[in-house]
Structure 1
């Protein structure tokens, strides 16, 4: 059975992000850093993006959630990942993994396996990435699988949420998928139910995309309007578009 969230629940989680202003520490794709930071700020979260292996653990220690994105992995990032996993384990910080192009690289697969050694990781990827990780995810403890596409599917602990919001231009702007993973992390920082957090984040993001598409002339202006739409979301706007 597919579950969905109503506008009031999504709005409440977004309001908690805005009120609590959790910091989301992002070891992320260099192509996506700017738009990821701006999307986090738009929903009320605070981004931090330290990547030096010598400081990343200390910086992430006070975060509300951690994002590890493999999009442009570097030797420095490779060394930083164990420190982030360790601090997440020691302090019970929720961790989201975005396994960008994991199907193309044995290195990425090995790094994803190291992250999945931490119980309770949320993995957000497209269908190809999630298929490449199927064996590892099946063996990991308490993983929440978030597969994004035309219909986003959130699966874990015997439940499945389906989110059918968004716009095709969301696939035409570099970094918007990476930013979606950061929003999942922001919602997870304030919502203890990982599946509900992911469903809220993707519902809000998809609806913001629909609103932005009605104001934009094309993918370039869409990115600007998407940030504005996310910042302006409220319960009325959410409820009006949730069927």
Structure 2
């Protein structure tokens, strides 16, 4: 663990969110088919712009103008396998923030190989659950510039510049397919406007978690929760952040 613990207050989170809304960064998402729709809607609610080209013959051209890139290894296709190295090259050449979401990497040698390729990229952000991050631990140990984002009941963010814990959210966020994948896209959106990647990830997950808390209070179950989460994220402001962050 890094020695320096980052602190995060409502004003800082609000500032990062305001920059996303002002700059409207385009986030290029190579993501799984289950998560495409909800990821796009969450990015729009957050103030960012999604693009999701996946064909290997066009993905580099589309991603070159994006503010950040997300690679999600869920539901891999032959085209997706070919597209990943091209996106990594775009991120390397253009110095774009890149977030890797290693979905079920512990189950698939192919996903592990692609994750290993991604971890060679300096300054990468990896957002996964505890099982995924544990499976990647030997590779992450060889990537000292990587920022690790391990999500769960309490989210742990660790990077070269420090670490922080985020304790916002609601259990209903685990009951809707694609919400974890969408959180990776929001991390990418904040990385597009904030150079401190630990701070960027912390702001994204704090905003998302607080929106989840608000949505849970308004919903009757997982179906209505997903609808309210989009609304809560879109309407999240300083007052709600201050009230929930103390």
The TM-score normalised by the length of structure 1 is 0.99
- Structure 2 unpaired stretches of 5+: none
Structure 1 runs of 4+ with >2 Å offset: 1-4
Q: Which residue of 2 aligns with 1:91?
A: 94
Q: Which residue of 2 aligns with 1:163?
A: 166
Is 1:23 matched with 2:16? no
Q: Which residue of 2 aligns with 1:240?
A: 243
- Matched residue of 2:57: which SS? coil
Counterparts of 2:63 and 2:161, CA distance in 1: 31
Deviations along 1:60-108, one digit per CA (max 9) or x if unpaired, are 0000000000011111000000100001000000000000000001110
Give the deviation of 1:4 after TM superposition: 3.3
Aligned residues: CA RMSD: 0.8
Counterparts of 2:175 and 2:150, CA distance in 1: 18
Q: Which residue of 2 aligns with 1:13?
A: 16
Is 1:119 matched with 2:122? yes
Is 1:63 matched with 2:66? yes
Counterparts of 1:202 and 1:17, CA distance in 2: 14
Q: Which residue of 2 aligns with 1:215?
A: 218
- Matched residue of 1:3: which SS? coil
Residue among 195, 207, 232 paired with 1:192: 195
Q: Is the contact made by 1:4 and 1:162 (CA closer than 8 Å) also made in structure 2?
A: no
Q: How many pairs are equivalent?
A: 243
Q: Map residues 99-178 of structure 1 onto 2, 5 A cutoff.
A: 99-178=102-181
- Matched residue of 1:226: which SS? helix
Counterparts of 2:240 and 2:224, CA distance in 1: 21
Q: Is the contact made by 1:36 and 1:178 (CA closer than 8 Å) also made in structure 2?
A: yes
Residue among 164, 178, 184 paired with 1:181: 184
Q: Is the contact made by 2:144 and 2:160 (CA closer than 8 Å) also made in structure 1?
A: no
Counterparts of 2:38 and 2:243, CA distance in 1: 27
Q: Is the contact made by 2:104 and 2:132 (CA closer than 8 Å) also made in structure 1?
A: yes
Q: Identify which range, 193-202 or 152-161, moves more after superposition.
A: 152-161
Give the deviation of 1:158 after TM superposition: 4.8
Counterparts of 2:51 and 2:187, CA distance in 1: 15
Q: Is the contact made by 2:25 and 2:49 (CA closer than 8 Å) also made in structure 1?
A: yes
- Structure 1 unpaired stretches of 5+: none
Counterparts of 2:231 and 2:169, CA distance in 1: 15
Give the deviation of 1:179 after TM superposition: 0.2
Counterparts of 2:67 and 2:161, CA distance in 1: 26
Q: Is the contact made by 2:68 and 2:98 (CA closer than 8 Å) also made in structure 1?
A: yes
Counterparts of 1:64 and 1:58, CA distance in 2: 13
Counterparts of 2:206 and 2:137, CA distance in 1: 24
Is 1:81 matched with 2:84? yes
